[in-house]
Amino acid sequence: METFRMAAQHSDGSVLVTITGELDIATRPELCDYVDRLLRPRPGTLVLDLSEVTFMDACGLGALIILRRHATERGTRLAICGASSAVSSVISMTGLTPFFPVSPEAAAPFDGPQRRPPPEHVSTGTGGSGLYLIVGGNRFNL
């Protein structure tokens, strides 16, 4: 059985939650607890990345419906930036696509240094030798 994993990234008062594995009757309570905690400080937007969800059942879909309601109650916008075929087929079959549109651009604010291309113009930093190394978009002063 695959492991169920959740991770959160914060950016400018918004949260991106990446979910990996099976979203079903077994993992639904964990997902709801986790996301409800993230909703407590009332983020502007909560983005769900469901592109690595390998299986979703009606209970998993129910969790998304509940979380959307909880988000609305707190004035948070719920967005989905990616959905696997396991997720999108259940959403479309149940006629809920209008409520869970997939908007890849919702993940844009979270394109952290590791996802951003290296800057075109670089200036020498203060301190160190002025030399630095860029690895995977991260800058290391030498």
Binding status of residue 101 toward other proteins by CB under 8 A: no
By CB under 8 A, the residues from 35 to 54 that bind other proteins are: none
Q: CB count, 10 Å around CB of 15?
A: 20
The residue with tokens 């930093």 is 125
In the complex with other proteins, which residue's Cβ is closer, 99 or 140? 99
Which residue of 95, 117, 127, 136 would you call a contact of other proteins, by CB under 8 A?
Answer: 95
Binding status of residue 135 toward other proteins by CB under 8 A: no
Binding status of residue 102 toward other proteins by CB under 8 A: no
Binding status of residue 5 toward other proteins by CB under 8 A: no
Nearest-angstrom CA–CA distance, 63 and 90? 13
Which residue of 74, 86, 102, 137 would you call a contact of other proteins, by CB under 8 A?
Answer: 86
Q: Which stretch binds other proteins (CB under 8 A): 34-42, 89-97, 110-118, 125-133?
A: 89-97
Q: Which stretch binds other proteins (CB under 8 A): 7-15, 83-91, 107-115, 132-140?
A: 83-91
Binding status of residue 57 toward other proteins by CB under 8 A: yes
Taking the alpha carbons at both ends of the chain, their separation in whole angstroms is 44
Q: Three-state SS string across the chain, please?
A: CCCCEEEEEEECCEEEEEEEEEECCCCHHHHHHHHHHHHCCCCCEEEEEEEEEEEECHHHHHHHHHHHHHHHHCCCEEEEEEECHHHHHHHHHCCCCCCCCECHHHHHHHCCCCCCCCCCCCCCCCCCCCCEEEECCEEEEC
Residues forming contacts to other proteins in the complex (CB under 8 A) are: 1, 22, 24-26, 55, 57-59, 61-63, 65-66, 69, 85-86, 89-90, 93-96, 99
